[in-house]
Amino acid sequence: MAEPILSVRRLCTWFHQDEGIVRAVDGASFDLEPGHTLGIVGESGCGKSVTARSILRIVERPGRVESGEILLRRPDGQVVDLVKLDGQGREMRDVRGGEIGYVFQEPMSSLSSFHTIGNQLIEAIRLHAAVSKKAAKVRAIELLTLVGIPRPTQRVDSYSFELSGGLRQRVMIALALAAEPRILIADEPTTALDVTTQAQILDLLRKLQAEQGLAVILITHDMGVIAEMADDVVVMYLGRDVEQGPVETIFHDPAHPYTRSLLQSIPSVLAEPRSRLRTIEGSIPHPYARPEGCPFHPRCVSAMAGRCDRSLPEPTTLNARHAVSCFLYDEDGAVPPSPGLLERAE
């Protein structure tokens, strides 16, 4: 296994509000390998977006990274802990948009309507590289060509509101790639798009990744998108990584009861018409009413009274690349608990 380019270790990002503390991310750990796509999947409130914002150090108040490490490995072998950097400081600003590019869900609110897309690209290019305005404009047109925008020499002077949703998302991707990052974080990049446009954007992301050797963190609630794009998958529930492994394992040999139920409850185009879906009992708990013990136990079909409702399961490795946080796997001796994937770097 290659050395991870980014390692998140026991990340906790909490929001301190008058009503109490919302533990949006509460001990998530995972690794991103160079050239791989890591899919982070989960339902609303699982902390997948806050994880992305924590890596970029753009968590809004009253939220803040409480503890944990976000280790970025540079090509020269140097390792930086992003948690220790000043979120607004020079070094973090070089990482954000420089070494790590990012694409968000809403292409309309992420782009300015007052500046042409060309000027926004030129700004991003010149922020991270000392080039003339003229050279930056040439580069901007190159980037627009790269992301498949038709007639880039004319489109460079248009405004974001003149473009369709699909084209806007392409511009967002061009912006993210402006400083030639090594890592791209894409948070629900296709959720606001129609299905045929989504297919085009996913195709583009795949092509760019192959050409530029990017490592991608793809965050989505859509298991279909994960199955199509990811090499490795992290399944999150209420701020914790409950299971992680290669995409093939997660879909064809899932271990955690939540992953299993989630996969069974997805509607399928292959289903019989008027067939009922498998469901997961109950709903995602309110952030202030976080269950004791394993956060999934009130909805879990395999919950063990006295154990799952009392203590929090730690990740257990099932094999070198497959880890699950569930008492089912350390209790019956299926696999003895051992330091593995997650503890390796500590």
Q: Which of 56, 144, 262, 323 binds another protein (CB under 8 A)?
A: 262
Give the span between the Cα atoms of 286 and 98, in whole angstroms. Answer: 36
278 binds another protein (CB under 8 A): yes
78 binds another protein (CB under 8 A): no
CA distances from 54 to 25, 57, 331 (A): 9, 5, 33
**Which pair of structure tokens corresponds to residue 256?**
């955690």
Q: How many CB atoms lie within 10 A of CB 93?
A: 16
Specify the pairing of strand 37-41 against strand 6-17: unpaired
Q: Which of 130, 274, 301, 305 binds another protein (CB under 8 A)?
A: 274
> Footprint of another protein on residues 120-159 (CB under 8 A)?
none
251 binds another protein (CB under 8 A): yes
Q: Which of 1, 18, 19, 44 binds another protein (CB under 8 A)?
A: 44
Give the span between the Cα atoms of 265 and 268, in whole angstroms. Answer: 9
> Footprint of another protein on residues 171-200 (CB under 8 A)?
194-200
221 binds another protein (CB under 8 A): yes
Q: How many CB atoms lie within 10 A of CB 15?
A: 18
CA distances from 250 to 38, 110, 207, 224, 260 (A): 12, 32, 24, 12, 9
162 binds another protein (CB under 8 A): no
Task: Answer yes or no: are the C-beta atoms of 186 and 193 closer than 8 Å.
Answer: no
Q: How many CB atoms lie within 10 A of CB 334?
A: 11
Residues paired with 244 in a beta bridge: 234, 323
Minimal distance, residue 15 CB to another protein, in Å: 18
267 binds another protein (CB under 8 A): yes
Q: Which of 67, 112, 113, 164 binds another protein (CB under 8 A)?
A: 164
Q: Which of 142, 224, 253, 310 binds another protein (CB under 8 A)?
A: 224
Give the per-residue contact string, 279-318, with another protein (x = CB under 8 A; - = no). Answer: xx--xx-x------------x-------------------
Q: Which of 225, 234, 235, 328 binds another protein (CB under 8 A)?
A: 225
Give the span between the Cα atoms of 287 and 292, in whole angstroms. Answer: 12
Residue ranges in contact with another protein by CB under 8 A: 43-44, 164, 166-167, 194-200, 202-203, 221-228, 230, 247-248, 251-252, 261-263, 265-280, 283-284, 286, 299
